[in-house]
Amino acid sequence: MRSTIKTINLLKSVLPAALILTALPAAAAYPERPVSVIVAYGAGGNTDVGARILFPKVEKALDATLNIVNRPGGGGWVGWTQMLNAKSDGYTLGYINTPNLTTGYLDPHYKRKATLDSFDLIANHVTDYGVISINKDETRFSNIQELVDYAKANTLTASTTGANGDDHIAMLKMNQKFSTQFVPVHTTGTAEQRAALQGGHVDVSFSNVGDINQAHKNGDLKTIAIMSSKRSSFLPDVPTLSESGFPGVVSWSARGIAAPKGLSDEQLDRLREAFIAGLNDPEHLAKMEEMGLQVDVRTGDDYRSMLLEEEAGVRELRELLGW
């Protein structure tokens, strides 16, 4: 540092100010090299496919390559732990999927030290709202009112894509608020979950719009309620729980982009600008719509508030989750 100051003072004594500026090394523009993005789920899944649709648009805006690194396992926490352990220099990012992220750090059994404050939030990508579906040949109930009435008096099995995920939590919320008696049947993923419903192995399915959109349109199953504040453009014939007389239960699975805490303001601004540009690209939006996935661009306080709302909802269910 002292040698640098001496050099500047010497330059001042013999050179004009304009020439001094050109003599000093310029700050490197971020990013200087490719950026790794950890996807905490396997190749070919919705998160991975969505990332591969989005990234070419972000790369153009960022003027840098984004390399996907798939690190599945632990409900997402294999990848998220790797991301949190990486240097916070702007060259390691990751997709964060909720509620698995939220339940993973709130569940006391795992003793994780991470919190939402461990991440620099860049942008939300997709918000996939929860739905309730029944077998297309079901005769005991045909709409959400009949289902709730029946489930108050009878125990019903309901498939989910895993313990403590959004499907499971939505089911627990229904039981807590409306005295239904849904019993979870956890599956390994969307394909197994849908097969269980269509094969008559479970009574009901709690899933997401993106999982059943096409099956509902094809008549392979019947979706009778969506757990959002308004109807989905993908399922305009399906009423919300609230408009059906069952307010207070909203459920979603969201995924967005984050980094380990510690990015500079300049890096964070640069990344947010690039991802917003990519997220709003018409070709990206069209391809996501084909998949039945709702792009939901949120950044800054708006994104953080959304995740805190979900966190508060999970905390309310601690007793039911056995925490």
What are the sequence ranges of the domains in the chain?
Answer: 35-128+252-315, 129-227
Residue 234: predicted pLDDT: 95
Given a contact cutoff of 8 angstroms between Cβ atoms, the answer to whether 263 and 90 are in contact is: yes
Residue range 35-128+252-315 forms a domain whose CATH class is: alpha beta
Domain 129-227 sits in CATH at 3.40.190.10
11 versus 321: which is more confidently predicted? 321
Dist CA 205 CA 161 (whole Å): 10
Taken in order 311, 119, 98, 250, the sign of the CA dihedral is positive
Dist CA 44 CA 159 (whole Å): 22
Residue 8: predicted pLDDT: 47
Q: What is the average pLDDT score of the chain? A: 91
Mean pLDDT computed over 37-63: 93
Dist CA 311 CA 98 (whole Å): 9
Burial tier of 104 (Cβ tally within 10 Å: 0-12, 13-18, 19+): buried
For 297-323, the pLDDT digits (tens) are 999 999 999 999 999 999 999 998 889
Residue 20: predicted pLDDT: 45
pLDDT band at 191 (very low <50, low <70, confident <90, very high): confident
**Which strand (E) or helix (H) includes residue 68?**
strand 66-70
Per-residue tokens: 161 = 């894509």
Residue 189: predicted pLDDT: 82
Residue 162: predicted pLDDT: 87
pTM assigned to the model: 0.84
Same fold, 35-128+252-315 and 129-227: yes
Residue 9: predicted pLDDT: 54
Per-residue tokens: 249 = 């239960």
Given a contact cutoff of 8 angstroms between Cβ atoms, the answer to whether 251 and 227 are in contact is: yes
Residue 27: predicted pLDDT: 55
